[in-house]
Structures are given as C-alpha cells and as structure tokens.
Structure 1
Amino acid sequence: MNISAARRTAYAGSALWTVCAVYAALTAAVTALPPHRTWGTLAAVGYAVLALVPAATVRSAPPPVAPAATDVPAAPGAACRAGPPTRQQPRHRWLTGRLPLAGCALTAVLPLLVLAFTDSAQEEVHVVHRAGARLLAHGTPYLSPDQLADADYTAYNPYLPGMALFGVPRQLLGLDARFGFAAAFLLTFALSLRTAGLRTTGGLRTTGAGPGARGSVGRRTLLLTASPLIALPLAVGGDDLPVLGLLCLGLALAGRHGRAAAGRSGLVLGVACTLKATAWPALPVVAALLAVREGRPAVLRLTGGAAPALAAGLALPVLVDGAGLAANAIRYPLGLAEAASPAAAPLPGRLLAALGPAGQLCAVVALVLAALLIGGSLLPRPPRDAGGAALRLALGLLMAMALLPASRFGYAVYPAVLALWAYWRNLDARRLEPGPGRRPPAARRPTARRPAAPWGGAAHPGREPGLRPHRQPLTGPHADRDERLPAPAGRHRDVRPRDRTPLPTR
C-alpha cells in the first residue's frame, strides 16, 4: 500500500471514529437514562482518542525509501540462497493494527466495568437477576398470575426460561449478568465468522479470508464490538447479544455441507430459542435453506438437533409453571397483560396499540400477517446460502420490531448485525469462487520428504554426478518432489527436494 492509499484509509477511519464520537456525545446529552448517559460520556472520549490516532500515525510515518543500486546482489543466485529479506513492522502500522482492540476496551469494556461496579444498568439486567434468584429458590423464573395481580411492569419477566441462567452467577458469585452476555456474544459471533469462512475443497479445509483469516475474524469482531451498535447495549443491558451471536452461529453452521452441520445448527438455534422469542423466526428460515440445498433429511436433522434444547428449555418449564410462562413471556410482550410495558418507541405497532383494544387487536393481526408473509415467501423463493438466509431473517425481524405492540429501537441491532454478517460472509465466499482466468483452490498432494544428495552426487538415480541437468521438465516418480533452482553463472543448476530441504555446504 502506497503512502497516498494509507493516508486515505487512515482519514476514512478517523472520520468513522468521529461519527461514533458525535453519536456517543449526543446520546449523553439527550438521554434521560443514567446508564446511557454514563456510556455516552465515556465512549465519546474514547472515540475521540481513536479518531486522532490514524491521522497522527500516517503523518509521523517515515517516507518510503527506494532501494539503492548497490543493494542489488552481484550473483544471480545469491538472493535465492540468502532467502527473502526480513523487515521489521513499522511502529505506526503496529499501532494502527491495535486500534480495534483499543476501541473495544475504551468504548465497551471500560463503560461496562464502571456501570457494573456501580450497579447501574437497564431494567432488563435487574429482571434477569431476579429471574435467576427465583429459579434457584422456587424452580421457576416467573411469578404466577395471582402474584402478578396489581403488580407493575417490574414484576414481569418477558424472557423465555433459558435467559434466567445468566442471572444465576449473580446469586452464586456476585457476577453481573452483562459479563455473561458479552462473553457469549464475543465467542459465538467470532466462531460464526470463522465457521462461515471455512469450506472443504479437495479434502482440505481452506478459509475464505485467506492466510489472515483468523486475524480478520478477530478484527471484525472487535470492530463491531467497539461500534455503538454493540458497545452501547453491551455496557447498559445486552440481553439481546447472546441471542444474536447464537443466530449468527446457527446460520453459519447451516451454510456448511455435511450431515453433522444441520444437526449442530439445530442445536445452536434451539438454545437461542430458549432465551428470547426473537430467535424463533430463524428456525423456518434455516429449514427452508436446508430443504433447498440438501433435501428433507437435512431438515429432519435440524429438527432433531433443536428438539433436546427445546424440550429442556421450554417443554419442562411449561410442565412446571405453564401459567406463569404464558402470563410473563406471551401476554406481557403482546400488550395483553394488566401492566403496560415501558418499551414505548413510536413505531407502528405501538401507535396502533395506543388507540385502545381495537388498535391493539389490529397490531397483533398485522404482526401475524407479516409473519405469514415472510414465511410464505420461503416457499417460492427460499434462500440459497447462509448470507441470503441472514438477510431474509433480518427482514423478518425488522418487520416484527415495527409491528410489535411493545417495541423499542434497541431491537434494530438484530437486522443491522445480521445484514453486516451476511455482507462479510458473502465477501469471503466471493474470494473463494474462481473468477475469469483464475483456477479454483485445489488441494496439493502431500510429498514424501527425502534427504538431499551429497554435494556432487547424483540428485536422481541414473544421472552422473557433476553433469548439468537437461532443461526439459522432469518426469517420472520424482517429478512432484524436485525443482530446479537458479544458480550463479558458471555453475550447474542445483536440484533439491520440493520440501525445501536445505542443501549441504561444501
């Protein structure tokens, strides 16, 4: 990369960090929620620091130095024998490469630590803590309908039974549930990127991101976490993040070929479906993807993989406390409970529900019709790959967010992250596809290692030592093992095994 391209990239990065700093500052200025104000204040400073680093490093970077004429080796084969020159990574490049990690630490981890140790969080975090305590004490995370009579919205638990497990460490270790949310998201999302970039070619495993696939997975995960899209909910609440990470991982597994992939995808999606109802639309979308790609057996394996998680996370709680689950996790989110939800974003579903019982019924009917419309579109035009399935799921969740009677703008994290994940997945897939004039990646046959011949000895059986080898391509059993190397003028070409066994010295 020349200096002009490096400057353009650095200035673009500074511009993005500046936009994030402005968003964080506006959040701190206009919000009425103390956790959001704390995050906005801390994150605005962090984003401002990150915006100054790329431009400063490019300005302080040394100019490129052209190689001098005396640097050219005198002998044609000297460079080959000496090997490639070693270069030390410039300091400004090292610092720029650590920006994603620094951004994640300054804008997500630091505000999370401050808010966690001051016990400042959104009400959702306290709901999960109370659900974990009730699960340990009574075997159910819900209050019964009789106990919910004349209670306010803080007594309700709108989540499915699996979410209460994140509140158990609070009772046993005093650990805030947000640490569990963050760890689950980082692990599952990074694993989803890694899984989506793997493809089997010729019996070997290759990555769509090339030699730096692992590094790109880490950078993408950290950059996404440092953005306000994830950093804000991770610090103040974060109950949607583990569901989102499991959805991405389930889509990545469904996009791979093989019998085990469909079952693993079903297991992951089944676990997500025990946390929140926002994960349920993923099951029909992934089933349509597997049906069009691998047929009915893959759909059956998906169902078989999801069944154990759904049985343990939903069927058993229904048998234990079905009335409490219905009152908390079904009636309350739909606006049918006695207490109104504080999620009052001015979206179409909320505006309809505010008109009275008739408007509330219209909102529920519109939500059901939207679900049928998205589900019906899977039959004539099913998704063909994991990226298309992620986009279809993002569209469905976007419509659900708009039509829910009790909704909030925070649900926009689902369609936004799913669309970004689909873009990254398709980008890596295009790198593996053979373009015009380019061969697809093929597996190299393993070659046996053999010791080099003594100096002056015959490198091949039947060839006299000291004779210059022919310029014809090598044939026979050793054609895949040996290669000709350039040699200085006046000397014969050296022949050595392809496995780069070093030549003996004189």
Structure 2
Amino acid sequence: MTITVSPPPITGHPGDPRKRVRRREPDRWVFVAEPHLYALFAGFAGVFAATAGTAAHRAWGTAAAVGYACAALVAVTSRTAGRACAFAGAALVPLAVLIATGQAQEEVSVVARSGAALLRHGTPYPPVPGTAYTAYDPYLPGMAVFGLTGLDPRILFTGVFAAAIIAGMVLSRSHGGPRQVGCMGVLIVTLASPLVALPVAVGGDDLPVLGCACLGLALARNRPGAAGLALGAAGTLKPTAWPVLITVFFLLRARRKARRYVVAATAVLTAGVGVPAALDPSGFVTNAVLFPLGLTPATSPAASPLPGHLLTGLGPAGYAVAAALLALAAVAVGVSLVLRPPTDVRGAARRAALGLALAICLLPAARWGYFLYPAVLAAFATLPERPAATREGIVPCAAA
C-alpha cells in the first residue's frame, strides 16, 4: 500500500505565499504612480518645448507633451495601454515627424556620412577633418554600419535597441519561473520616459550601445559566448559599452565561465575596432581618441554643469584635476570588481550603472542625456534572476 503525501492547500491566511508575492512585486508602486509620472513627463516636455534651443528639440517637446498627457489619462484604467501610449506618443510619433521634416541632431548626419565614407574609401573617418566639430567622427568604427543602408540612422538605432531590449526582457522573464509576476514595470516606465524618448526622436546613437549591453547582461546568466558577442558588438560602437563589458567579465570569472566570453568578445572587438584602426591609424586616433578628449582644434560642444566640465573650464589645471578624478574613479571601481566581483546579473548591472554615472559626472565634455546609461541599467537590474522554488512550489519575485 502506497501512501502519497500531498502538500497542504494554499489558503488565504496572512502567511499565504501568494500574498507575499503580491506584496513584494517591485513594480506595484509604479502601477499606482504611472498616471502621475506621465503627467510629470508631460510637464517636462512642455517646458522643454518652450526653452529648447533647437527646432528638433522644440518639435519633440511639443509632440511629447501631448503624448504623455494622453498616456496619463489612459493609464488610469489600463497600465499596458498607458505605457504603449507614452512610448508611441513621446518617441515614435515625434521620430516620424522629425524624419519627415528632416530635423535631427548632428550625430545623425555624422553617422550617415561615416557609412558613406566606409563604402567609398574603406574607412569611416574623414582624411582631413575640417575646423568644425561636425567634421569629426567621434565614434568607434562599428557605428558606421548604421549609415550603410541609406535609411535615416535613427530608424536602425531604434530598431536595434527595441529588438535587443525585448530579447533581454524575454530572457530575464524566462529566469523568473512559471509563476513570476510583474517585475518589469520599472524598466518599462523608464523606457517610456523622456530619457529614452528624446534620443529616439532626435538622435539615438547611444540606443544600440545600451540595447546590446542589456542583451549581453541577460545572456550572461547562462550563455557566456553569446554575451561576449553582444557586448563585443556594443564595444565596437562607443566606449560607453566598455564598463559593462568589463563588469560582466568579472561576473563570469567569479563563476569560472569567462573563457568563452573573452574569446567571443575579443573576436568581435578585433574585427570591429582593431582591424579598422590598423587600416587607418591616423584617422582613428584623430577622430575616435583625440577629439573626444578635447585635444583637436575643434572640440565637442557637449556641455552640462557637471563637475568634470566645470573643472575643465578652469583651464589646464582644472582639466588635469578632472582627468585625475576620472582616473581615480575608474581605479576605485576596478578595485571593487577585483575584490568583490558581482555575483549575479543584477549586481553587475548596478555596478556598471554606478561606474558610468561616476564617469559621466567627471568627463570633461558630457551631456545630461548620458545619464540614459545608468538609468536604464539600474532599471534593468530590477529584472528577475533565477530564484529557488519554495516548498509549496511558489516562486517569489526575485527582484524584491
């Protein structure tokens, strides 16, 4: 005679695991606050439209203010519809309007020109940059790929970003267990915020970098080779991906899974950066190294009242202090990675966000918009890691 012991039925008493899941859902507060957040975003967009210095920014502010206002009304009754309305009204509609009217930030034309130069001359960098800052190409060679098709680069920026973020969210969702609830509201609302919507419409060269970085983080859970490919690809676009690439290396080294990651990332970086730099060393150094450091006749107009920029404005001594502080911050973050490497993907995302936030504050030339990186990475850190099942088989929210 076989006796089977069944688990006790789940009841509604105060210790009910389902109750704990609901109380611990991290995006629950977002659902309650979303209409107010969209109203706040609408106010920001309206002020931005009235005070922005360029026509493209004013056009975005006007369209986004309407989009966010509609999202605030819709989100009262439907969270999903409110989020869709916010992103469509503040990002996709302004993007279509600006493409149709030919308005964009300078980086869009720079990327389009670099793609054309790559097709004609085999290098994305101009042979002799002019005296204007727009004559330089400050990006790494991989960015020229977005200028090869003849389409407005913003379409490709947004498409790659959306595909990579969605893939990263799906991978993260699969690690939350079959009964995982929510846990993605913080990231989704961040993606609908002006931090993302504005660059989608007016520029967006940071978006594919950030999307590939988030995808690499999601893949790092159990696909180190694929993570190396994704983060290596991000690293061929802009150096802003390198802090994430290095952080994931320390994460995987602590797990003894770094070999395939290193091989894959090195192969992509060699093909996307090393070979083009070897073929045109002068153009690479002038455009991708000296210009971002402010060591060329024309310098970047990027400026915000952040510590690094303020120190640089004091002259050579201030520039030296800003560079020393930036190096000190890099060393401090590096030492923390060596002594206490992150143990999971969420910890790696948070560590990379911290490092990038410090770098943005101390760079000689930085914009407020660069905080897009730490903001999205910090939001990505709220996505679930694989949790252990409880005795009753209920999987709690890993991001709580």
| TM-score under structure 2 length normalisation | 0.86
Check 1:9–1:165 CA distance in 2 against 1; reply closer, same or farther (3 A cut).
closer
Opposite residue 221 of structure 2, the aligned amino acid is: G
* Residues 258-337 of structure 1 mapped to structure 2, 5 A cutoff: 261-293=223-255, 295=256, 298-337=257-296
Deviation at 1:318, TM superposition (A): 1.2
Aligned to 2:348: 389
Deviation at 1:210, TM superposition (A): 3.1
Q: Deviations over 1:302-359 (max 9, x none)?
A: 1111122111101111121011111111111111111121001111111222222232
Aligned to 1:379: 338
1:189 equivalent in alignment to 2:168: no
Check 1:222–1:286 CA distance in 2 against 1; reply closer, same or farther (3 A cut).
closer
Aligned to 1:400: 359
| TM-score under structure 1 length normalisation | 0.69
1:51 equivalent in alignment to 2:72: yes
1:344 equivalent in alignment to 2:303: yes
1:359 equivalent in alignment to 2:311: no
Deviation at 1:196, TM superposition (A): 2.2
Aligned to 1:433: 388
Q: Select the structure with the greater relative contact order (CA < 8 A; seq sep ≥ 6).
A: 2
- Bigger Cα displacement from structure 2, 356-365 vs 329-338: 356-365
User: What stretches of structure 2 of length at least 5 have no aligned partner?
Assistant: 1-28, 396-400
Asked which structure has the greater CA Rg, the reply is 1
Deviation at 1:100, TM superposition (A): 2.2
Q: Deviations over 1:475-497 (max 9, x none)?
A: xxxxxxxxxxxxxxxxxxxxxxx
Whether contact under 8 Å (1:433, 1:440) holds in the other structure is: no
Distance of 2:329 and 2:226 partners within structure 1: 29
Aligned to 2:141: 161
Distance of 2:380 and 2:209 partners within structure 1: 14
User: What stretches of structure 1 of length at least 5 have no aligned partner?
Assistant: 1-7, 58-94, 200-206, 442-506
Q: Secondary structure at the match of 2:148?
A: helix
* Residues 8-407 of structure 1 mapped to structure 2, 5 A cutoff: 12-55=33-76, 57=77, 97-144=80-127, 147-148=128-129, 151-170=131-150, 175-199=151-175, 207-208=176-177, 210=179, 223-256=189-222, 261-293=223-255, 295=256, 298-407=257-366
Task: Supply the RMSD in Å over aligned alpha carbons.
Answer: 2.2
Distance of 1:209 and 1:44 partners within structure 2: 38
Aligned to 1:493: none
Distance of 2:178 and 2:65 partners within structure 1: 32
Q: Deviations over 1:62-106 (max 9, x none)?
A: xxxxxxxxxxxxxxxxxxxxxxxxxxxxxxxxx654332222221
Opposite residue 183 of structure 1, the aligned amino acid is: G
Distance of 1:366 and 1:11 partners within structure 2: 41
Whether contact under 8 Å (2:187, 2:380) holds in the other structure is: no
Distance of 1:378 and 1:275 partners within structure 2: 24
Deviation at 1:212, TM superposition (A): 7.4
Whether contact under 8 Å (1:397, 1:414) holds in the other structure is: yes
Aligned to 1:480: none
Distance of 2:109 and 2:80 partners within structure 1: 37
Whether contact under 8 Å (1:166, 1:177) holds in the other structure is: yes
Percent of pairs with identical residues: 47
Whether contact under 8 Å (2:346, 2:385) holds in the other structure is: no
Aligned to 1:419: 378
Deviation at 1:379, TM superposition (A): 1.4
Q: Secondary structure at the match of 1:281?
A: helix
Whether contact under 8 Å (2:345, 2:385) holds in the other structure is: no
Give 1 or 2: higher helix fraction.
Answer: 2
Q: Secondary structure at the match of 1:99?
A: helix
Aligned length: 367
